[in-house]
């Protein structure tokens, strides 16, 4: 989706090498574009077309430096692939909970730079909540050695939170101390059909009151989203009879081996049937069936690409407002752009919808793509009207700085610029990202 042309790509293997490259670029006035797994959806790791920017790839920094079981922490370098981190935690009998579709190729550095979310935020939080310490190469080449594994440290501003989510515009994250959690020994997974998004809101409230922290995932998707997957993802089939307007994938986890999570799901869903929140349901009877249900959910992102351009809108509103947002935005879009196909799905428990738009059936790509800005305006204006965010988890990159400048409070942009000018006065760290042109 984004093209660029780098003067060169540098692949340092240690923090000292990263610092040396940054110092050289700083002294030479050359802009740097940090890059991890390059799986971002907003072009945050792609250089501009000038051919003058240097891509600094963290992919050779792959060491897992330390696992401290008693402190429940793991210290990893930025180039470690998320799946490798998950496996290292599991081999140590622990869980590192961050999980998202790109986990086979995204890097921990990129997860930190974008404050990645994914499907377990409901229980464990974003990358921000999973991080205790950072090592960062600052724009002038100095190294901040902040790799502390402390859960309590009230000695002034919590500096790591400036760099988490800064998308490489304030410095280069080279390592982190991350939290580990007790590994789950029981999992319960259900796929349910719902009449409305409001039923999903009612259901998640009920399940959470019943299961508390054992509720680790609650993903919602529209029938349109499921139909794309059934049409384009091999090996996928509809778990229930007949089409239904909405679906939810519910996951429970417990550290107790053989915990009766299926019974908990059955009793929770029994009440949901009585109240009409649920039309139909299936509970996975083994891990294979559970994985097949997750494949339906994780397949949506890929499946959209088979239906022409997918105009992505990663928005969040208060959970209670999701039904009204969907109703009002769907009708506003159909009125202005009749026939557009709305692929509405996402992390219901976080109030985070991937509200993606595909072209009307039979229409050509180009005229639909030409409506991208107008469609985006309708969706972001409605998001704003619900006091939501125009980028819940994917960040701003080069795709959304203008929208952020338009929809965010000007005072927030001013404070962000003050921080940017303090840490990167020469503006060489990932220029053109996060800030709109002229606002850096
Ligand atoms: C997800 C992936 C991006 C998209 O699947 O949770 O974050 O909207 C999204 O296709
Ligand atoms: Zn997502």
* 79-103 residue pLDDT tens: 999 999 999 999 999 999 999 999 9
Which of 101, 302, 303, 376 should be mutated for ligand 1, with most atoms under 8 A from CB? 101
Helix H or strand E segment including 19: helix 15-28
According to the model, what pLDDT value does residue 238 have?
Answer: 98
According to the model, what pLDDT value does residue 84 have?
Answer: 98
According to the model, what pLDDT value does residue 360 have?
Answer: 98
From the CA of 312, give the closest atom in ligand 1.
8
According to the model, what pLDDT value does residue 241 have?
Answer: 96
Residue ranges of the chain whose pLDDT lies below 50: none
According to the model, what pLDDT value does residue 437 have?
Answer: 84
Under a CB-based contact definition with an 8 Å cutoff, are residues 199 and 254 in contact?
no
According to the model, what pLDDT value does residue 242 have?
Answer: 86
According to the model, what pLDDT value does residue 440 have?
Answer: 83
Give all strands (DSSP E) within 266-380, no chain letters: 280-283, 314-316, 341-347, 352-358
Going by alpha carbons, the residue nearest to atom 4 of ligand 1 is 301
Which of 249, 346, 347, 355 should be mutated for ligand 1, with most atoms under 8 A from CB? 346
Span from the CA of 119 to the centroid of ligand 2 (angstroms): 7
The distance in angstroms from the start CA to the end CA of the chain is 23
The pTM (predicted TM-score) of the whole model is 0.95
According to the model, what pLDDT value does residue 20 have?
Answer: 98
Which of 229, 354, 376, 379 should be mutated for ligand 1, with most atoms under 8 A from CB? 354
- Distance (Å, whole) CA 440 – CA 419: 11
For 345-383, give one letter per residue: b (16+ CB within 10 A) or e.
Answer: bbbbbbbbbbbbbbbeeeeeeeebeebeeebbebbbebb
Residues with CB under 6 A from ligand 1: 41, 101, 301, 312, 346, 354, 356
According to the model, what pLDDT value does residue 39 have?
Answer: 96
Query: Using CA of residue 78, residue 33, residue 353, residue 344, what is the dihedral sign?
Result: negative
């Amino acid at each position: 989706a984004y093209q660029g042309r780098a003067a060169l790509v540098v692949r340092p293997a240690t923090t000292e090498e990263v610092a040396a490259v940054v110092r050289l670029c700083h002294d030479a006035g050359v802009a740097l574009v940090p890059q991890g797994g390059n799986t971002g959806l907003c072009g945050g790791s792609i250089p501009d077309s000038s051919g003058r920017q240097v891509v600094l790839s963290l992919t050779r920094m792959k060491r897992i430096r330390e696992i401290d079981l008693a402190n429940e922490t793991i210290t990893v370098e930025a180039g470690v692939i998320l799946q490798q981190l998950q496996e290292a935690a599991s081999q140590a009998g622990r869980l590192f909970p961050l999980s998202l579709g790109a986990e086979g190729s995204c890097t921990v550095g990129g997860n930190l730079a974008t404050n990645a979310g994914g499907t377990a935020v409901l229980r464990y939080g974003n990358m921000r909540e999973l991080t205790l310490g950072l090592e960062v190469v600052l724009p002038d080449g100095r190294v901040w050695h902040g790799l502390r594994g402390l859960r309590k440290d009230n000695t002034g501003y919590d500096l790591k939170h400036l760099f988490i989510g800064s998308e490489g515009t304030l410095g280069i994250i080279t390592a982190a101390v991350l939290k580990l959690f007790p590994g789950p020994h029981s999992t319960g997974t259900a796929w349910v059909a719902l009449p409305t998004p409001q039923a999903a809101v009612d259901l998640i409230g009920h399940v959470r009151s019943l299961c508390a922290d054992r509720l680790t995932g609650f993903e919602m998707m529209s029938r349109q989203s499921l139909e794309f997957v059934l049409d384009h993802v091999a090996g996928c089939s509809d778990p229930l009879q007949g089409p239904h307007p909405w679906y939810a994938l519910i996951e429970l986890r417990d550290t107790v081996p053989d915990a009766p999570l299926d019974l908990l799901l059955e009793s929770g869903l029994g009440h949901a049937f009585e109240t009409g929140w649920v039309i139909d349901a299936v509970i996975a009877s083994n891990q294979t069936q559970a994985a097949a249900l997750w494949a339906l959910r994780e397949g949506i992102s890929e499946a959209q690409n088979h239906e022409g351009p997918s105009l992505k809108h990663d928005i969040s509103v208060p959970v209670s407002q999701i039904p009204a947002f969907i109703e009002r935005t769907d009708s506003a879009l159909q009125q202005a752009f009749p026939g557009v196909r709305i692929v509405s799905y996402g992390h219901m428990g976080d109030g985070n919808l991937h509200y993606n738009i595909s072209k009307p059936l039979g229409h050509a790509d180009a005229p639909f793509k030409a409506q991208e800005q107008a469609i985006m305006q309708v969706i972001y204006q409605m998001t704003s009207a619900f006091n939501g965010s125009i980028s819940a988890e994917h960040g701003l990159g080069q795709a959304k700085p203008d929208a952020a400048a338009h929809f965010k409070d000007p005072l927030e942009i001013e404070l962000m610029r003050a921080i940017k000018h303090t840490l990167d006065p020469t503006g060489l760290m990932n220029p053109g990202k996060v800030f709109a042109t002229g606002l850096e």
